[in-house]
Chains A and B, each alone.
Chain A
Amino acid sequence: MSSRNEDRGSPFAPHTTDETAAMLEAIGAETVEALFDIPDPVRFDGEFDIDPRGEREIRTELRHLLGRNDDLVEFLGRGHYDHYVPSLVDHLADRSEFLTSYTQYQPEITQGFLQVLFEYQSMLVELTGLEIANCSMYDAATALGEAATLAARVRETDGHRVLVPDLLREERRSVLENYVAGAGLTVESYPSDDANADLDALDETIDEDCVMVYAESPTVRGTIEERLGEIGESADENDALFVLGSDPVALSVLEAPGEIGADVVIGDAATLGLGASYGMGLGLFATREEFVRQVPGRLVGASTDAHGKRAYTLTLQTREQHIRRERATSNICTNQAWVALRTAIHAATLGPSGLVDLARDCLEWPADLADRLDAIDGVRAPVHDRHHFREFVARTDQPAPAVVGDLESKGFAVHAVDDHLVQLCVTETNADRVDALVTAFREAAR
């Protein structure tokens, strides 16, 4: 009798017992086990102790498990942001032809995804003011690491120093250090002045030995960097690459980095398209055309097909690890293409008007919240006398960890920067809870 082995085997191996028998006969094997060419000493006969469960059971299990997370309103940012993702994004990106496909090695049969990625690249070109963007890195931190190794490859003279802001997230710096160590580079920080770059101090530390100067706008403190052009000039005078960290929402209103001398723009583009996702991201990477053969990651280019019609394909693959191996521009193979798809759909859904509107809100909301917190006794906000985007730092007379702990017990997650500094981030996902937050903050800061 023919039956599927759903009770005992993989529910996704669709063989009937008859089919299995016929296939074994065709091969000339007695049993499936006989096909395994594994010497006895390394055969495994133990158990993993994993019980198979049904779909419904697993959904219930994970609902209960994840339900143990406290239900907090998050006012958290510091380089990772939660924006509302329109339903259209989920429904279109989850179409199985997109979701279940692989890298577009056969372009004739994967035009859809290639065009999406070409459009994604194009949107980043518009937002950054640079000539080219790749199809993705893993996240902002890995994109920063790749930018540094690109700088070392394209720079004409030898050098080994990479300069970063002293306020850079520790995690981002750690990734950067791991990426550059193999290339013989060292990471050093330059000081900040009220959360922007201290230009005088930067000028003192920068020299011909620097391959790259990195700056962020908005910074990790949520301030907009006001002297990017001068940082770029300092870098340029020393033949170092100027790399800027930003994100697509901020870039919708900020001066295009390409216009103010940036050689590379990195960042997390999943600020559009993905939501918080426990830190999953999409590394943005854009640069100048002159560096195109040194760019890490995949590039989609336009070409023509045998009908003479425009079509798209992965291009310059000779830079990649499957062809150049140890001389490749990076080891990246799997990237974040599907997240890029989500980001592109989200950006297209907003359009230029929606993007500028969202960015304007990201300027106004934190300013309003800072004003309201500043009115509370024992609180001063914002600490930095700058323009802020999405987030800002406040000083509390009470110890910051106690304030943060008290707020958490009242249902709000905010970040403790140090002993008396807290950081808060406002977007459309929590703007409607600002009144409640201010009330809770007044009690917590007392």
Chain B
Amino acid sequence: MTFHYDQARWTDDESEGYEPLLSEKDETTVGTDDVPLPDDLKRDSLSLPELSEPELARHYTRLSQMNYGVESGPYPLGSCTMKYNPKFTEDVAAHPAATVHPDRSAGSVQGTLELYHRLEEQLARIGGMDAVTLQPPAGAAGEFVGILVAKAYHEANGDDRSEVVIPDAAHGTNFASAAMGGYDVVELPSADDGRVDLDALEAALSEETAALMLTNPNTLGLFERDIEEIAGMVHDVGGLLYYDGANLNALLGRARPGDMGFDLMHYNVHKTFATPHGGGGPGAGPVGVAERLVEFLPSPRVREAESGYELFEPERSVGKVHGFYGNWLVLIKAYAYIARLGDEGLADASAKAVLNANYLASQIDYEVPYGPFHHEFVASADDQDAADVAKRMLDHGVHPPTTKWPELVSEALMTEPTEVENRRSLDQLAAAFNAVADEESEALSSAPERTSARRIDQTEAARDLRLSWHALDG
């Protein structure tokens, strides 16, 4: 029932590893004698691989075959929302007029600015916000903008606050973003049902609270049903409520952060709106805000004037968090994806994501505490090591869940199938879970066997740091 899977493995007899490094295929040293610069300003020579185009085409094709993507198989990485990425959005983003220089005059890039403006407005409606900036180049950059905006807002009110409250199960970026903004973090313990503990929240909030950062549904896949009361408590002490958009895929068309009392939020367009995550990025993290925060948004913003679209600086702008306008090509893909789905498609994406999570949770042999779930659930491997479970699942041709987080669940397997898997594929995923659940620890600790590399020694990588081909022996 599970997939038969063998990942491509390219080796070279002369190499001690798998596909040789470019530097092991060639290293050519080129002089700079004919470079028209004084000697004291230029290097003598440059040493890098010099290979033909066919050789490079094979190198990177082999490497791609030794890599796993959403189109290789299921990718239920909890909290990361890895969806299928439609192909046509790549073509749309490759349009020559999309690649204009960022210093062009506004009058000469009216198409770009109109598209920018349309996406801002659509995201604002989807989130129930009054205005959106597309500038942040990632979700965590969006969080950082949220922190900067919150700080600017409080300072404009003559209010010097020092703390940001964050639930213990929140994404790690929340903590780091708050710290980057100079705030002390107050960690909020979760209640026994996995949700915000209102008594603990009461104790954590004070006149020092600049903001509460929250995602809803939370990282356990649970909807914070007391959200109105939570918002009221935060607002009562003069704080702002920040929405971490990482889990927005569960809510499209059914609830909006703005309606729940959130004052500001970020959107992860590569998660919710299916733009490729490219092995770690780029993504984009637009930020939406309520009316009273609009004047603090990053500069520049786009507005429609009589003569066309123009750029302007908000009155009390926090300034910039990206050198230009963010990850523009990703934003075009998000616009195209939203256009493809429309209102009903967006709502259906959430419906099927929630259906899939609940179905998969009902089909696996691992215990799944808490519930009811939205887009993801956290199972417990309990008497197995979750990291070993993940390694063994690789042998079944599926990407494993996120492991060992959140820590509220022992040996956590945080699973988010998304809407792009159908029943057949979910059954195969469940079969992979269940096959691994039945295995002894010896079998698990030697996994994986069918991937291009066998179990990799993480300790060695950290102890004996070799971070470039210059650092390799011989």
Contacts and interface: CB of A to CB of B under 8 A. Distances in A.
Interface stretch (B95-103, B204-212, B288-296, B433-441): B95-103
B154 interface: no
Nearest to B260: A42
A438 interface: no
B98 A66 contact: yes
Nearest to A65: B111
Given A14-B420, A325-B176, A309 B185 contact: no
Contact of B345 (A10, A256, A292): A10
B369 interface: no
Size category of the A interface is 35 or more
Nearest to A225: B41
A240 B353 CA distance: 51
Contacts of A300: 467
A67 B108 CA distance: 11
Interface in B125-142: 125-126, 128, 137-141
A72 B36 contact: no
- The 6 closest A-B CB pairs, nearest first, are A279-B324, A338-B278, A52-B342, A9-B348, A310-B17, A279-B102
Interface in B446-474: 446, 448, 451-458, 460-462, 465-472
A100 interface: yes
Interface string B326-351: 11111010011011111111111101
Given A12-B274, A62-B335, 12 more contacts: A53-B342, A80-B102, A182-B182, A256-B43, A299-B467, A302-B471, A305-B454, A315-B462, A341-B279, A351-B50, A352-B30, A408-B105
B319 A175 contact: yes
Size category of the B interface is 35 or more
B18 A111 contact: yes
A333 interface: yes
A318 to B, nearest CB: 8
A278 B270 CA distance: 18
Contacts of A253: 32, 35, 37, 42-43, 46
Interface string A268-300: 100000011111110000000100100000111
A55 B354 CA distance: 26
A109 B339 contact: no
22 contacts: A9-B347, A37-B223, A48-B122, A53-B339, A58-B339, A59-B92, A65-B114, A69-B110, A96-B70, A100-B84, A102-B399, A139-B324, A141-B320, A172-B323, A224-B37, A278-B101, A278-B328, A279-B102, A321-B172, A331-B141, A335-B138, A353-B50
A106 B390 contact: yes
Interface in A390-433: 408, 413, 415
Interface in B169-193: 171-173, 175-183, 185
B140 A326 contact: no
B143 interface: yes
Contact of B140 (A65, A131, A334): A334
Contacts of A348: 22, 48-49, 51, 56, 59
A276 B16 contact: no
B280 A334 contact: yes
B314 interface: no
B51 to A, nearest CB: 7
B379 interface: no
B4 to A, nearest CB: 16
Given A62-B92, A307-B454, A92 B57 contact: yes
Nearest to A139: B323
A49 B122 CA distance: 9
Nearest to B5: A109
A255 B282 CA distance: 31
Given A101-B67, A303-B456, A305-B454, A79 B323 contact: yes
Given A11-B345, A325-B172, A38 B223 contact: yes
B67 A111 contact: yes
B42 A254 contact: yes
Contact of A109 (B46, B274, B342, B451): B451
A107 interface: yes
B352 interface: yes
Nearest to A136: B281
Nearest to A304: B457
A183 B182 contact: yes
B13 interface: no
B256 interface: yes
B65 to A, nearest CB: 7
Contacts of B47: 126, 352
Given A326-B175, A326-B185, A278 B282 contact: no
Nearest to A113: B279
A53 to B, nearest CB: 5
B18 A178 contact: no
A345 interface: yes
A133 interface: yes
A48 B128 CA distance: 10
Contacts of A312: 456
Contacts of A364: 36
A74 B469 contact: no
Contacts of A99: 69, 85, 90, 276, 278-279
Contact of A139 (B18, B64, B322, B391): B322
B419 interface: yes
Contact of B111 (A66, A105, A181): A66
Contacts of B75: 102
B153 interface: no
